[in-house]
Chain A
Amino acid sequence: MSIRERLSGNEAVSIAIRQINPDVFPAFPITPSTEIPQYFSSYVANGLVDTIFIPVESEHSSMSAAIGAEAAGARSLTATSSCGLAFMWEELYIAASDRLPLALALVCRALSGPININCDHSDAMGARDAGWIQIFAEDNQEAYDNFVQAYRIAEHPSVRLPIMVCQDGFITSHAVQNIELLEDDKVKNFVGQYEPEHYMLKKSEPMAVGAYGTPAFYMEAKKAQLTALQNAKQVALDVAKEFAAISGREYGLFEEYKTEDADFIMVIIGSAAGTAKDAVDALREKGVKAGVLKIRLFRPFPAEEIAAAIKNAKVVACMDRTESFNGHNGPLGADVRTALFDVEKAPKVLNYVYGLGGRDVTVESLTSVFEDMQTVAETGELGETYRYLSVRE
């Protein structure tokens, strides 16, 4: 029997971490992720976990300490947002290249400037080339479920890479909604004990981590790292299958909502996917064949699978909650378009920038994107393919 609750996304993730009872949690607070270490520190104080909680003086240090702890053999994690993630920049690459399967609860928030504490994906998207597994949630339930599955994916012997579990700042992190939790022992059994093969505190086997890689080694190291990241795709599916068996909730690399026969498909990440589903239902009632493909796993990018899922649409709209300043498309738009490039008679692709810095995303605004897609199909004219949604002219 699962536990029916009402929780914010931050509360839900904190509970998942409590149930996992990791070894080391270094943290430095930043809005809107602050509540995660805040709630967790009360679990530590109340003796509900035996995690070592380390308050540090910056995110540079929290990620460094998490890396050190993970290399030592401890299951470790931290949480952050926005500028905090930016301040972890060099460590993100180190965690991934040293193949350390630690976890990061990312509560997505815009990067400055102008300085802003609200949601967009510029922090996560900026880190997309760091070599981490990136997994996104639509709501508090998915944030919780993804976290419960995170270490199983990251620590898998064919992967061993850090994992970033992302949810939308304030929109899901601070909104209280219904949720179903799993019992503590069920989570504990599912995640299991962390038993690394090699670790720095292993007495019988001294080891070196972070050795210099000369030009003779560097490319081989990257190729091996990429292969491990690609392996995360199948592992994520396998773990999701096991998770469905204990929770009844099914997850894939992405969620397809009414896409099978859809002429118009919106590809979107995060909380706005839920709003998009409401838009799709209203459009379907009017006879418009609309659908939504919601990305769950963004890194590694399931390009072939996405191409197969959307190739029969007339028009696809990729929704980027970040500005990547290449002037032509956003990160999701670029990835989806590339995935479709070799497909015969590929759908037309529009790319929207939306919801930056907390700009509200409504059923109406997303409906207008479907209307734009219909216009493209009717007129055959693509027009400007890189567009801003809900911006004042």
Chain B
Amino acid sequence: MASDLNKQNDFVSWKELEEGCKIYGGGGSKNFNTGEWRVDCPVWLADKCKQCLICTPVCPDSSIPVVDGKRTDFDYDHCKGCGICAKACPFGAIVMKGAED
């Protein structure tokens, strides 16, 4: 049985906490929207993109989805706005914009 992460939260009692704080069932991080932490925001300029896919593996949060061998737009639910992808892109196809922009 996968852990119910809606219950393993800041309000969980010691009796309901999973034994040894273990988490059962994979992929739990999908439910955790780290995108809320983002201050600066990467923007993908599709017309400049050569689909070299250098950006995808350097993303620490797996927030550049690849479909049928081609990257698509950012997963903003999980992108923390670290800007590594923008630094890595050789073609200026990713630009960082401030939160206010």
Contact = CB atoms under 8 A, between A and B. Distances in A.
Touch test A–B (CB under 8 Å) = yes
Interface stretch (B17-25, B38-46, B59-67, B93-101): B17-25
A98 interface: yes
Given A98-B20, A99-B20, A224-B19, A205 B14 contact: no
Contacts of A100: 20
B54 interface: no
Given A205-B2, A220-B12, A198 B24 contact: yes
Contact of B13 (A160, A205, A208, A220): A220
A66 to B, nearest CB: 15
B13 to A, nearest CB: 7
B69 interface: no
Interface in A153-207: 160, 198, 205-207
B15 interface: yes
A217 B25 contact: no
Contacts of A205: 2, 24-25
A220 B10 CA distance: 10
Nearest to B11: A216
Interface residues of B, number: 17
Residue of B14, B23, B24, B27 ringed by the most chain A CB atoms within 10 A: B14
Interface in B45-98: none
B40 to A, nearest CB: 25
A97 interface: yes
Interface in A210-233: 210-211, 213, 216-217, 219-221, 223-225, 227-228
Interface residues of A, number: 24
B14 A224 contact: yes
A221 B14 contact: yes
Given A216-B10, A217-B12, A211 B25 contact: no
Contacts of A198: 22, 24
Contact of A99 (B12, B15, B19): B19
A100 B22 CA distance: 11
A209 interface: yes
Contacts of B26: 206-207
B13 A207 contact: no
Contacts of A227: 14
Contacts of B22: 98-99, 198, 207-209, 211
A349 B13 CA distance: 40
A209 B24 contact: no
A229 to B, nearest CB: 13
A228 B14 CA distance: 11
Contacts of A217: 10, 12, 17, 21
A228 B22 CA distance: 15
Contacts of A206: 25-27
A213 B19 contact: no
Nearest to A198: B24
B14 A207 contact: no
Nearest to A71: B22
Contacts of A221: 14, 17, 20-21
Given A205-B2, A216-B10, A220-B12, A97 B17 contact: no
9 contacts: A99-B19, A100-B20, A160-B20, A207-B25, A208-B22, A209-B20, A211-B23, A217-B10, A223-B14
Given A99-B22, A220-B12, A221-B21, 9 more contacts: A100-B20, A160-B20, A207-B23, A208-B22, A210-B21, A217-B17, A219-B14, A225-B20, A227-B14
Interface of B: 2, 10, 12-15, 17, 19-28
Q: Which 10 A-B pairs have the closest CB atoms?
A: A206-B26, A99-B20, A220-B14, A223-B14, A208-B23, A216-B10, A224-B14, A98-B20, A207-B24, A220-B17
